[in-house]
Structure formats: structure tokens, C-alpha cells
Amino acid sequence: MRNLRILSVLFLMSACQIEVVLPLVQIEEDIPVIEGIWTDNSILNEVKISLAKNYTDTTGFKAITNAKVSIRQAGSNVVFPFAYNSNSRTYKAVNGNATAKVGETYELVVDWNENSFYAKGLMLEPPILDSLTYQFEEERPFRDEGYYIKAFGRIPFEENNYYRIQIIANDTLKNDPGDYLLFDDTFGFTFFENGLELGYAFEPGDRVRLILYRMTVEPYNYLNQLLGLLFSDGGLFSPPPQNPDTNIQVVKGETEVLGYFLVSPILTEFIEISK
Amino acid sequence: MKSIFAVIILIISPISCLMAQQATFLNGQVVDVTSSESLPGANVYWEDEIGTGVVSDLDGFFEIKTGKFPRSLVISFIGFEKSIRVINQKDLEKSQKFFLNPNQMSLEEIIIQERRPDEQVRNLETGKATMPIATIKNIPALFGEVDLFRSLQLLPGVQTAGEGTGGLFVRGGSADQNLVQIDGAPVYNASHFFGFFSVFNPDALEKVDLYKGNMPASFGGRLSSVIDVSLREGNNKQIRGEGGIGTISSRFTMDGPLFSEKSTFALSARRTYADVFLALASDPNIRENRLNFHDLSAKFAFRIGEKDKLTFSTYQGSDFLGLESSFGLGWSNFVNSLKWNRTISKDFYFDLDAYHSIYDYKIEFDDPENGFEWKNKLSETGLKAQWSWLRGENLQTYWGVHSQLYYFAPIALIPAPESNIQQLDTNPKNGILNSVFAGMTYEISPRLSTEAGLRWSIFNQIGNGVDYTYEGGIPGPEIAITDTTRYSTLENIKFYQGLEPRIAFRYLINEQFSIKTAYNRNFQYVQIASNSSAGLPIDRWILAGTYVPPIRSDQISLGLFHNFDDNKWEFSVETYYKDFQNIIDLRNGASVLFTDNVETELLTGRGWAYGAEFLLRKNQGKTTGWLSYTYSRTWREIAGISEGQKYNPRYDRPHDISLVINHEFSSAWSAGLTFVYTSGQAVSFPVGVYQADRQSVPLYSDFRNEDRFPNYHRVDASVTWRNPNKGRKWRGSWNASIYNLYGRKNPFAYSFENIVNNDINYDSETDGPITSVRPGIIMTYLFTFLPSITYNFEF
């Protein structure tokens, strides 16, 4: 838990920090990172492939531009080829209108450098996102004074209850580790039916878009483990760091692969805080 | 002429008498401060007139002629500290009492020699250390807080997980493999402040025994060690007290007779006042935080006739750490133990122990939308009966039974009144562990002795409770549950049993040299499921069950033990090999706090450890202490971790050196010095970085803990000044200590993150726009050059 980590450092009042240099191992081979997003919203559909680099390498992440990428609908002949787009530096579906259909399983296939990678995901039925509302709140514990948005919806499912919410405020995606909002059915969904309050104090004039994903457990676990890694302080009270469990397999070749493949319905709602 | 001479005599004599009548006397009584008994035969003299003096009578009273004032009066008695008090005119107005303390040096010798001087060579025990409380109190301490666990960490074979933490990792075992018990009752979390201090108030302790090698068959339930702590019983003569006021906490202990000489009490209390300092902070973010712990303990002893003794011990302690009154973490121990010791005959004894130990822990989250309180509790109730029979000088036997009832309560997740979180339903876990044990110590020949024992442990996981059946029979996070079986109270769910043989041999090469070897097997039926390196107070303890077999260890050790210089010095070298089966670890991303199916988060494998421990120790004289060196390695091999290959847990630290020195300059001044050096902890550093989900993510090797922290070392020093003995009851002393004398920045943690504008503390709200971002490594270190001062007192 994030607060637990804050607490574990808080009472160490005599703790200090300095920047240091450590002899780190260098990467000896090319390690591809594949991020595949396949949704019912064609704008969001893309596959990003890049290379991992040494930790102290200050050059940008190198994109892999010569991979052969496709997504196919399992159990059918439907294939969506992808091509590299130099503007977005990602692979986009050649058919720009291609989207995922609820109930279908999709397979990501990537061939690169005599290696082949494979992943699959199920397109689930979306939950219900009714509306967004906002109201002004005074300062509260963990909350500054400001306008707080609540998202109302309903999740009627018994299984595959893994969700993510992303917030775009004024055309900027909130994507710091503290902005991740991942939840499952451990604590039920009453909080969503009663209005899930977003933890941001907005101001008049702010334009806010909420994106809701529903996914299967594999990409959810990946994102959860990724978040845990981002919050790890490397200390005694953190778990031993491990790479998130990818749902992408290496079906040919000796290389390892990083990243994840996400198939998800997309629900969006938009609201503007009145001036 | 004769008549004139007679007149002169007649004139002088009255004058002489008159002068004699004008001589003054000081009256007093000499008393033993510990027993209030008078001391007959004590020497009483003026410091500037050593040749003359008086001796106290049978009741300790004396009368001595005085002279000019002020003047120093010396009182001495063999076996007691000399008392020197300045006497003034007003002290003649009434009789004075002079309290003598038993000699400090001889007291320490008595403590160490509970323990014969040659015990290290002669006894059968391998891997056992007795830590005198006086020794613990002389070791320089973090924040001036004398601590039992940090003292034990200075012994060979005992590792620490990191700077300041009190968790013990003994011969390759994790912290939950140590049985920590107070007067026979287990303590499940013996630490305060995340392990920076232990729960033991040193003033409340009588003695501590650490078994890390051969455990007698009367002990069981843990693989790596038994830390057997005995609370101090009160004295049966008079009320006494002692305590201390320190930088972090204050403590007070009082003991004495209860109703008569046949019953005694001892009460101890300790509390930190770190929360007081927080309240004084100018930063409101710090001011609203809470940080406190306390300990309370009591021991009552009753002698019933000549043959029976009854003691009742109780301990209660708790911690609470809170963030801005919105988030809090708390835990508490409540331990009670009742013992009956009966001397059936001069060779036959019976001991009955009954105990109950409760460990509570909780998380509070006061969020307006999603607030909750998460609580968990476990308890152990036990009854142990042991008979001991001494059959002559060569043979001692013992046997007994030990029954333990475990209760692990369901997790209580209580949503706040306005919270949208749903209540969580889990199920309790119960278990009964019955053990039968027997052992003996037999002197086969004057040179060869053996200690052999067998413990048979029989464990049942019982209802009420629930057991799940998984598809394919193997639990996993995504494996479907095909059946849920409910069990009623005491109904058997799962049964385990195991024989635990213990055997040791000692061969005396000569009076100063011996070889010992031992073999132990142990089973452990409770353990912690934790995914942090050092352990957190909210880690879940789990019982052996259908999917969690008990862990088993086998340990063999061999040692050479040598005393020299008339037992003033002890030297030992001890090697061991230990094997673990059914060790658990957690899968990547495991969450154990909110699930009823903990078994789905576990991975099981094996481990092993080996090492050599060298110890050179001096127990007598003005300078005492020890030098220890340990070379040790620890390994784990668990499918699902590190590609199934062997790896080192974090506390694998191959080289470990400890030097502890204490010197008594005089009865008033003493000093202590400690030097520790250990290899860096085994950790995983990133081998690269990649981009995923718009984040820069550190890339780790698939093999765990291939990197090392830098080696750790520091020196601590302390000086103690004791108020000279003036025969008064109140004795005070000041202790000044410095932790980390040369201020080495020993790393506590490394974080790998982007550094903005070359400022590791960059704040986007106050430090302007971003002009540069680069990857960096930030090291967190804790305590450098930390002075502290403590005032200790006794009366």
C-alpha cells in the first residue's frame, strides 16, 4: 500500500538521501518491449515496440520499426495487419477502423529478428458508466479544497472484474504512478454505484475526460505489478523487485520479451467544470 | 612537693575531663542496601586518619569520634563497595544510616558465572549463548536505548536484515523461525518501531538464553533458534526501584516483597515520547503524525512451602504509527504465563507451564470515501508439563508433553460509516499441536558425554474453518475453486506429524579443550507470509494446512571449544550445515492482506545454509568483551522465483565481524566500544530500463538478488559515569553514547528514478520548470553520528 510505504519512511526522521553511482550490469542483447492495445475504439488501438536500454543510457528509447505485427481474431480468418507509423512511432492497424468485438478472443502476433511473440486477450462486455458529476469540497484528509468529480456507474458482472480508470485533464493524461487507478471486486463495487470520487481537486474551466477499461486478469496483474515496481523504494519494507509478469510469450527465438497485451472495451465520459 | 604535685593533678584532671566531655561522636549504622540487613564488622574510619577507626557491632551500629568538619568518612566491608561520605556538623544531630552496595565487579562475575568459568568447554551445548543482562546494558546503544535483540545481533551466527532493524536471522533462517518467549510464552512480534527496538525492557529481564544449534527436546515449533527470555523476579527483602530517562523513551522498574518474604513482585514500564517531539514540530504535516509505543510487564512469585513455587508473568506492549490522523498502523502483544515448579524430591522435579499469548494488528484508513479499519488477531494457548529426574551424577533425564492451541481469527475489514467499501468475509484458522518429548544427558565416560532427545510433534489443523478444493488440486490465483468444505469446531482438516531427534556429543580432550557435535531436526507449523525483506508488523502468520505443509529443518554442527589463561579467555569455532524443506515465498505481486485463500499466493521450495563461527571472549577482569567472525551462506530454491534457480535471500551476508569491548576504569567510570562489519545485503539492482505504459520502468534480471549493497560497518562508543557511592540509597548514573562514531553513510535503500534538474528533491510546485531529466540512483541512509544521553537511577 502506498501509505504504508510513506509511513515506513516517515518515522525514519533521521533518514537522508544523496545521489550515488553504482556499478550496474549492462544489457548484452536486444530486449524488445511490446505494448499492444486492442479496443473497441480505433483511435486507441496500436502496438508499440521498443528496446530496453542500459539504465544510465540517456538517449531516447529506440523504437523497433521493422517488426511484422498483426492481430487476428481467434478461431477465424480475420486478421488485422499493422504497419509502422513514424508520426506516432507505433504500429497502427492498416484498416484504421478496425476494432475489437465483445466476446471475441484476439491474438497478437509479432515477428522480429527471427523471433516470434504471441499473446491473446478476450474482449469483455463493458460495464455501465452513467455519468460524471462534480461539486466543490472544502479541504479534507488527503484532499485539497477544490472541485471533485464523481463517476457513477454499475458493474453487474460476477467474474473477470478487473478495471482501470485513466483521467485526461485539459488534454494531458494523468500518468504519474500516483495517478494509477486499478481496482477489482475485492471490496465490491458499491463505491462505483454510489459515485467513485476522483482524487483530484479541479478548478473552474478544467476539462476532464474519464476512460474506463475492463480487462482480464493477466494485463491487470501486469499493470498492478508494474505499479508496485514504480512505488518500490528498494528498502527493507518493499518486496524484492521483479519484472511484471508479461502475458506475451516467446514462441520462437531465444530472447526475452517485456510488455503486455491488453484487450478491452472502452467507456469514456467528459465533463467541464463550469467557470 | 608531693602536695603541690597532687594539687596540679587535681587541677589538671578536671580540666582534662572537661576537655574530654567536649569531644563529639558520630553515630551511625551500616546496612546492606539490597537486603536492609545490618552489616556487623564493617570498618569505619576517617579518610584522613586511616590508622584509627572503629568497627560496627552486631547490629551494624558504630560510634566514632569526630574532629573538624567537613570531613570524609569511609565505610568498607568485604564484598561491598566502599562508601565515602562527607560529614558536616549537622550530621551529628541524629544517627546516620550508611547503605553499602554489593561490589559491582563481583555481581557481574556472579551473573556470568551462572555459568561456570569452564562451562563453554564442559557443557554439551553447541550454538548456545547466554547473554548477561549487565553485558547488554554496557553495549553502546542506538538512541541510547539498550536493546536485547541488537545485542544478540553481535553474536556469531546472528544476522540483521539491515540498519537499525531488530529482526534476527539465525544461521540462515528467516525472522519467523525464531521462537521468542517470555517465561515460556511465545511473543509473535517482538519489535517496536518496525524492528528498531525490541519489546524487552532490559531492566525487567533476568537472563536471556539463545539456542541456535542444539535445541533441547523440550523446545520445539521453530527451526532456527529459541530466544528464551526470563523476566526478573522481585527480591524478598525490600522495595527497590530502577529506571532511566533517555532520548527516545523512559522506563521504570520496581520490585520487592509482596505479602511476606515468601512472595515477591516485579513491575516494569516503558514508554516512548517520540510523539511529544512530533507535536513540537513546526511543519503541520509532521505535527499531526503519531508515533508511540509502550511496554508493561509484571511478575509475581509465591513460595508455597518448601517444595512448591508459583510464578505469574504478564507482558503487554503496543505500537501505533499514524500519518496525519488519516492513516495508521498498530500492533500489540499480550502475553501471560503461569508456572508451577515442584521439587518432588532432591532428584525429581516437576514443572507445569500454562500460557496464553495474543498478537493483534491493524490498519486504519480514514478516507472520506473509502475509509476502513483492517484488523487481524492470532493467539496461542499452551500447556507444558515436564518431569526432570537426576539419576546420580552421570545421568539426567527429562520427559514431558506440550500442547498448543492456535487460533488465527478471520480478517476483519470494517468499512467506515460513510465508506463505500464492502465488508470482507474470511474464515478463522485453528490448529492443535501436541508434542511429546523425552531426553537425557549422560556422561558415558569422564571425557565423553551425550545429550539425546526426541520430540514427536503431532499437528492437526481443525475447525471451525473452511478448506477449499482447487481445480487440479494445486491452488493458484487464477485456479478455480471447485469445492468449499466447512468444518465444525475441533473437526480435523489436515494432519501432520514428525519425529524430531536431537543428539549431541561432547568429548573432553583435556580440561581446557573439547569437541562437540550435534544434530537437530525441527518442524515448524506456523510461519509468516511476507513479501517484504525485513518483515512488517502486519505480515500474516499462516498455519500449516492442506496446501501448506510444515517446514522442516535438519542441522548438523561441529565445534571446537577452548578456554585458556585459567578460563579468563574462551575461544570457539563452530561449523554448521542446515537444510530447509517446504520453505515458502510469495509470488510476484502477491497480496495476502485481503484474501481468505492465502495458499494461492504462496510458492514452496527448499533452502540450505552453512557457515563457520569464530568467537574469542573475555569474561573476567576490568576489560571484557568478545570478538566474533562468522562466514555464512544462505540459499533458497523455489519454483517460480529466480527462474527456479538457487538465489540468496536478502540477509545472506557472508562475512560478519563483531567486536565488543567494555572497560571498567573505576567504580564510577566505564566505557564501551562496538565495531561491526558485515557484507552487504543481497539485492537486485536494475540491469536496464524500458518504457511501458508511458513509464520508465527499471528492468531486473530474472535471477533474484545477484547484486550487493556496499559492505556495512560502523563503530559505536559509550561512556558511563556512576555517582560515587556515598552510602545513600539513590544511585544515579549518566550514559553518553554515540551511534556510528565516524558517521559512515551505510545505505538503507537505493531507489532508481529520474532526477529532474539535477536535484533529487525537485518539487514541481516550488522549483520552477523542468530543464533536464536523467536517470539516477538515490541512496537513503539512516543514522550517522547519532549522540544520545541517558540518565539511569536505582534505589
Residues of chain A positioned with their CB less than 8 A from the CB of B694: 173, 175
CA–CA separation, B284 and B277 (whole Å): 13
CA–CA separation, B63 and B108 (whole Å): 33
Q: Decide if A7 touches B, using CB distance below 8 A.
A: yes
When pLDDT is cut at 50, 70 and 90, the band that residue B275 belongs to is: confident
* Cβ-nearest to A217 among B478, B532, B693: B478
Phi and psi at A4, nearest 5°, equal -65, -40
Q: pLDDT tens digits for B714-769?
A: 999 999 998 876 677 788 999 999 999 999 999 988 988 889 999 998 888 888 89
Cβ-defined contact of B694 to A175 (cutoff 8 Å)? yes
Q: Decide if B752 touches A, using CB distance below 8 A.
A: yes
Q: Decide if A158 touches B, using CB distance below 8 A.
A: no
Q: If you average pLDDT over each of A205-214, B299-308, B586-595, which comes out highest?
A: A205-214
What pLDDT sits at residue A134?
Answer: 95
Contacts of B567 (CB under 8 A, 6+ apart): B117, B118, B512, B620
* Chain A with chain B: Cβ pairs closer than 8 A: 235
* Cβ-nearest to A197 among B369, B697, B774: B369
Cβ-defined contact of B777 to A20 (cutoff 8 Å)? yes
Q: How many residues in total does chain B contain? A: 795
What pLDDT sits at residue B12?
Answer: 36
Quote the cell numbers at residue B159. 544476522
Characterise B668 by phi-psi region: left (phi > 0), alpha (psi -120 to 50), beta (else). Answer: alpha
Q: If you average pLDDT over each of A54-63, A265-274, B16-25, B197-206, which comes out highest?
A: A265-274
Instruction: Dump strand ranges (E) for B324-367.
Output: 327-345, 348-365
Q: pLDDT tens digits for B46-80?
A: 888 776 788 888 778 888 888 888 888 989 887 78
Residues of chain A positioned with their CB less than 8 A from the CB of B702: 243, 256
Query: pLDDT under 70 in chain A at which residues?
Result: 1-14, 234
Q: What is the largest CA-CA distance in chain B?
A: 134
Q: Decide if A67 touches B, using CB distance below 8 A.
A: no
Residue with cell 568429548: B507
Residues of chain B positioned with their CB less than 8 A from the CB of A201: none
When pLDDT is cut at 50, 70 and 90, the band that residue B164 belongs to is: low
When pLDDT is cut at 50, 70 and 90, the band that residue B477 belongs to is: confident
**Cβ burial B680-692 (10 Å sphere, 16+ → b, else e):** bbbbbbbbbbbbb
Residues of chain B positioned with their CB less than 8 A from the CB of A230: 695, 697
Are A130 and A153 spatial neighbours (Cβ–Cβ below 8 Å)?
yes
Rounded to 5°, the CA angle A90-A93-A95 comes to 150
Q: Read out DSSP for B456-513?
A: EEEEEEEBSEEEEEEGGG---TTPPEEEEEEE-BT-EEEEEEEEEEEEEEEEEEETTE
Q: pLDDT tens digits for A240-260?
A: 888 999 999 999 999 999 999
What pLDDT sits at residue B276?
Answer: 72
Q: Read out DSSP for B176-189?
A: GGEEEEETTEE-S-
Which residue does chain B place closest to A150, by CA atoms? B369
Q: Read out DSSP for B562-615?
A: EEETTTTEEEEEEEEEEEEEEEEEEPTT---TT-S-GGGGEEEEEEEEEEEEEE
Specify the range with the lowest mean pLDDT, choosing from A13-22, B220-229, B301-310. Answer: A13-22
Quote the cell numbers at residue B643. 527462474
Phi and psi at B473, nearest 5°, equal 85, -5
Residue with cell 515496481: A229
Mean pLDDT of B672-695: 94
**How many C-beta neighbours within 10 Å does residue B3 have?**
7
Sign of the CA dihedral with B122 first, then B123, B124, and B128 last: negative
Residues of chain B positioned with their CB less than 8 A from the CB of A21: 777
Q: pLDDT tens digits for B522-568?
A: 999 999 988 776 667 778 899 999 999 999 999 999 999 999 888 88
In the predicted model, is pLDDT for residue B19 greater than 50?
no
* Cβ-nearest to A53 among B329, B688, B700: B688
Are A9 and A233 spatial neighbours (Cβ–Cβ below 8 Å)?
yes
DSSP one-letter code for B277: H
Q: Decide if A188 touches B, using CB distance below 8 A.
A: yes
The amino acid occupying position B277 is F
CA–CA separation, B485 and B493 (whole Å): 10
* Cβ-nearest to A53 among B329, B424, B689: B689
* Among candidate residues B171, B120, B213, the one with its CA nearest the CA of residue B557: B213
In the predicted model, is pLDDT for residue B252 greater than 90?
yes
The amino acid occupying position B622 is K
* Cβ-nearest to A18 among B691, B694, B779: B779
Cβ-defined contact of B533 to A225 (cutoff 8 Å)? no
When pLDDT is cut at 50, 70 and 90, the band that residue B11 belongs to is: very low
Q: What is the largest CA-CA distance in chain A?
A: 64
Q: Read out DSSP for B79-91?
A: TB--EEEEE-GGG
Quote the cell numbers at residue B180. 521468542
What pLDDT sits at residue A151?
Answer: 94
Q: pLDDT tens digits for B90-144?
A: 888 888 888 887 764 433 333 333 456 677 777 777 677 777 777 777 888 877 7
3-state helix, strand, coil in chain A (%, to 5): 10, 45, 45
CA–CA separation, B687 and B692 (whole Å): 16
Which residue does chain B place closest to A13, by CA atoms? B782
**How many C-beta neighbours within 10 Å does residue B669 have?**
12
Quote the cell numbers at residue A193. 454505484
When pLDDT is cut at 50, 70 and 90, the band that residue B386 belongs to is: very high
What pLDDT sits at residue B324?
Answer: 66
Name the CA radius of gyration of chain A, rounded.
Answer: 21
Quote the cell numbers at residue A123. 474482449
Cβ-defined contact of B370 to A175 (cutoff 8 Å)? no
What pLDDT sits at residue B731?
Answer: 86
Mean pLDDT of chain A: 91
What pLDDT sits at residue A100?
Answer: 96
What pLDDT sits at residue B161?
Answer: 76
* Cβ-nearest to B420 among A25, A191, A236: A191
Q: Decide if A221 touches B, using CB distance below 8 A.
A: yes
